[in-house]
Every structure is written in structure tokens, then in C-alpha cells.
Chain A
């Protein structure tokens, strides 16, 4: 598990970026893009829009990295930027997609309807995740898309790790039940 790509830690990467080594920022991007994407995905639905916002997040982070006072809060700082960028983007584009964590997944756009024709399995999975209660869906998105650990999800949501673990377990059980037929067919 995990998506770490090199031995360079965040502190070293940031120090190198600040000293002018632009390439060191690549390590931060590689390390956090999935998590940032999961945060962005909470509000924005289409792949193209998510990619654009993720790019905006890292661009802004690169430009403001000198303002980061404590390297230990890098992840939290990036999530904050991701939320701001998502809101800005939505405001700009006036998109009504997965507007908030309360309403996430309730809207299936035309693209997803097309997906249904093209790929039943993808549709069923999306549908299954969309039908989960919000609190389960949230942890599934952050865990599965972002690859965040329970502790990281807990920190992001401001919930106890035990609660997040239980929600994830429960969400897994629900998904397994909903997708039973699908995965039986896969075997």
C-alpha cells in the first residue's frame, strides 16, 4: 500500500524547492496527488475538472510553499488548498456536481449515463458507492481514491480513527453486498 516513491522526506523536498530545486517538488506531487484528488473529488465530478483542479492545487502550493511554516502540516495544508481551489473552480464554472459531502454522488450526469451503456460494471460500482450513506461514502472515496490510511482520513474529517475504521468496515460490507453478483461474475 502507500504511494511513496522515493526516500526523500517532505522536509527535505520542501527545503530543496525553497532553495531553487524545482524538480524536488515532483516528489511532493507524486506523494500527495491521490490524496489531493480524493479531496477534490468530494466536490467535483468530471475527470477533466478534477484533473484541472488538482493541477491548480499543486500550482498554488508551489507558488505559496514559502508560506508553509511547519512541514508536519503539509498534508493538511494541501487539503485546505484543495478545498479552496474546488470551491473557486465551482464558483467559476457554476458546476452543480457532487456539491458537498452531504449530497455527494446523488447526481449522475450524462457522462455516467453513457458509461452505463459502455461499461456496466463501472456503472454498477459507481451506483453502489453513490447509494451509500454519506458518512460511508466519504471514507470510501478518501480511502479508495486517495489511498489515505484510516488515521489520515480521521485527521482530515476530524473524527476519531476508530469511528473511521468502523465506517470503512461497514462501507466495505455494504459494497460487498451490493456488488456480490458483480464480483461473482468476475471470478
Chain B
């Protein structure tokens, strides 16, 4: 191998080619000081330039693998969070539904118990203020309730002059010889004179 051929091979080698011919090249540079220096200088220049130009000096492999792991665990956490959120939403929905069911069962009873007390107080003050209640059982309640703030307007039946309980049946004022009684027919909507599931409260007879 002559020097011209050797330098051609050095250039090829430095260009990332001709690695198979490196042994032949080594044989030549071992005996040719000039070519050896040419090779060393070219190699040195390439390494220095590569080092100067390279924006990342050390291998970023570990940092990349760590980042991949971070993103994976972030996704895992996110997936877990999503599952958690779905479960929370499901449980909340079930709880809300059950609460609604419970309230829809309980609320009318609470309301009717409260309203009966208010009607009783209304009747007492109506009589004390010298008012005369209508003869009709339902109209007597109407007369007491119609101007009260607590009365729910949608249950004030202005046409028939009645105040309806939460199940849509009018309250009544029963007048007995010894006492009066305010009655709601209850959930079964059947008037049972204060018995059965009726809600009722007695008032000492008022004059």
C-alpha cells in the first residue's frame, strides 16, 4: 500500500467507511510516520470538532429512560385517578338517587305534619279574632290557609276552595261535639276520620 492509497483509506475510514480495511491501514501507518501523523491529526480534529459541536456531551440514555418511566407512571396514576373518579361519580350518583328516593318518601310526611300544626294554629287564631269558619270541612281549612305565607300556591285549589295535602287530597276540619280535628287522608288518599294512615291533630273545641 502506498501513501496515496493509505490517505484515501484514511479519509474513507474517517467518513465511517472501510472499517474492514483498517488492518491494512494499520500496517501502513505503523511504518509510515507521515501517514500516521496525517491520520492522527485528522482523527484528533474530528474528535475535537465533534466534542465542541456536540450539544450533549454525555449519553442521555439514563435520563431518557427515566423520563419514559416518569411519563408511564404519570399515565398509570392518571388512569388510576380516572378509575377513582368514575367510582366516586358512580357512588355519588347512587347515593343521590337513594337520597332522592328516601326524601320523596319522607318529605310529604314531614310536610303534612308541619302543615297540620300550622293549620291548627291558624284555626285557633281565626276563631279568637272573631272569625266564623264556613260549614264545609274543606272550605273551613281553605278559609284559614288561603292568606298564609307558608301555604304552597300550587296546592291552593281556588276553584273548589280547598287546600290540598302533599298527596293531592284536601285537608278537612272535622267538628265533633267535644273536639275538633284537622285531618289529612295520608298516602292512601282515603279519608278514615283520623284512623288508618290519616294524619290528624285534635283541637279542644273552640267557641
Residues of chain A whose beta carbon lies under 8 Å from any beta carbon of chain B? 1-2, 22-23, 25-26, 29-30, 33-34, 37, 41, 45-47, 50-51, 54-55, 58-59, 62, 121-122, 125-126, 129, 140-141, 143-145, 147-152, 165, 168-169, 172, 175-176, 179, 183, 186
Contact = CB atoms under 8 A, between A and B. Distances in A.
Interface residues of B, number: 32
Interface of A is mostly: helix
Contact of B48 (A37, A62, A125): A125
A30 B60 CA distance: 8
B68 A22 contact: yes
Contacts of A46: 55
A58 B16 contact: no
B121 interface: no
Interface of B: 11-17, 19, 41-42, 44-46, 48-50, 52-56, 59-61, 63-65, 67-69, 71-72
B49 A149 contact: no
23 contacts: A1-B16, A25-B68, A29-B64, A29-B65, A30-B59, A33-B64, A47-B55, A55-B63, A55-B67, A58-B64, A121-B48, A144-B50, A145-B53, A145-B55, A149-B17, A150-B15, A150-B17, A172-B11, A172-B42, A175-B45, A176-B42, A179-B45, A183-B45
Given A26-B61, A55-B63, A144 B46 contact: yes
Top 5 closest A-B pairs, CB basis? A149-B16, A47-B55, A50-B55, A144-B50, A125-B52
B50 A145 contact: yes
